[in-house]
Amino acid sequence: MEISASLRFIDSGTGRFQDSYGLKIGALRSSHPRTRERFQRLDFVSGIGICASLRKKRKPHPWVRRFGIAQLTRHDLSELLKSQSASKAVWSALRAGASPFVLDSQELTSKQAALKAFDVDDIFAMTLKPEAVEHMIEEAPGEGVASTHKFLLRLHDGFSVESVLIPNDRRLTRRATTICISSQVGCAQGCCFCRTGTMGLLRNLSTEEIIAQVVQGRRLAKELSLPRVLKVVFMGMGEPLANLSNVKQAVEALSDMRRMGFARKRLQISTVAPSPHQVLALKGMRCQLVWSLHSPCDTLRAQLVPTSLFSTMELREAFLTVFRSSSGNPDRRFMVAVVMIAGVNDQPENARELAEFLIPFYEDPEVGLSVNLIPYNENPELSEHQFAASDVKTVQKFRKLVNESLPGMAIHIRETRGANASSACGQLATELKRQHERAVTIIKQQADVEAV
């Protein structure tokens, strides 16, 4: 038997009832104790309307489809918990790097059972526990530069993702830490200069798992006496646009001043732009965009990003459409990233070709264009390509040639951070075999429990 329920709530903007959140539970038997427990947890929302239907003789579905805390606005969570103070306490805890599931506060103590209804299998709560961070690697700092910290976050199903804490230069007056987070376990894009691509795509991260990386990052930054985490970049494992629905919800939570409270200019999504359709879906997102272009030449780009199916001209037009019709969201500041690989895309003709390609962005008043030149970080696992980083003089000459055609445009040469700890750009990956073994073990354990 399959039991499905949809939750009707009042939209804070329109005042109308909406069915934006749904819950579906598949059970082997309606008398199963875990099923009864799940419905007991839903008793608290009966006052705002649950419509349930029973469909017999349907093949049971073993997974639970749910709406989570990270997908609810402060207003919606207040309505469901029937307490504005409890909703505020939940997001205050997450913003401070703490788990709301273990806080013994006056606002949350009486709401723990209700809160867990949005985390039926304790997936979010498990990911927020300190022990979910299995190990950390610290890169020895250089002179005047704070050390980076890479940490591995273990997920509920045995998979894991890597995130990186990057404190800014100690010489700057405004101290802050940037966290580089992942959107997928692995990646399907297969960029031949990126270690994550060797994993393949294992699965997407949920909205809660994306937010959990930021919460854990803020907790760790506090424990390590690092500056506060004030910037989030989706530049870790995975392609954000291939997990767009969850990434969008995560960005909404991160950029909401009543939830995680990050400024729009301090959120960046980096994408290879798999398709124009996916690029157009970025309209309205409160963040900055970074296009991992690497080369405007379709032939060369297809070699560097083998999954490229669309021309760079088509993708450029999609980005321009987004900025011209976005009304400020995403942020007009737009960065184009190029990984500088010696003898591959760092020659004078490559610079002139890039400058010509960027002219429509450069001349458009709706776009604040900049370019980021990223030295290639070596990966022993990618020895078949035998890539090497462009030397400093070559990169500086490349920048000068682009600026000759596009005067005044900001061109940054990224300082490599975390390369010695394999936490720099293109170096994130987890142990694939170990992850598969853990995932298979957990799935078998779940099957054994359901069979009892």
Quick one: the chain helix, strand, coil %, rounded to 5?
Answer: 40, 20, 40
- The 8-class DSSP code of residue 278 comes to H
Contact 309, 281 (CB under 8 A): no
> Helix axis angle, 312-324 relative to 348-363, nearest 10°?
30
Give the CA distances from residue 357 to residues 252, 297, 339, 365, 405, in Å, rounded to whole numbers and listed in that order.
32, 9, 17, 17, 11
Tokens standing for residue 176: 């802050």
> Helix axis angle, 74-81 relative to 84-95, nearest 10°?
130
Q: Is the sign of the CA dihedral 40, 45, 48, 50 positive or negative?
A: negative
Q: Residues 162, 209, 239, 252: which is the catalytic one?
A: 162
Q: Please say if 425 is a catalytic residue.
A: yes
Tokens standing for residue 155: 């997920």
Three-class SS of residue 363?
Answer: helix
Q: How far apart are CA 288 and CA 271, in angstroms?
A: 11
Tokens standing for residue 315: 């993708």
Q: Please say if 349 is a catalytic residue.
A: no
Long-range interactions of 147-154: CB distance < 8 A, separation 24+: 148/417, 148/418, 148/421, 148/423, 149/220, 149/224, 149/226, 149/423, 150/418, 150/421, 150/422, 150/423, 150/428, 151/216, 151/217, 151/220, 152/430, 153/127, 153/212, 153/213, 153/216
Tokens standing for residue 286: 């409160």
Q: Residues 191, 194, 287, 425: which is the catalytic one?
A: 425
Q: Could you please report the per-residue DSSP string of 294-327?
A: S-S-HHHHHHHSTT--S-HHHHHHHHHHHHHTST
Alpha carbon dihedral 25, 28, 29, 34, in 10-degree steps, equals: -60
Phi, psi of 336 (to 5 degrees): -110, 125
- Residues classed as catalytic: 162, 425
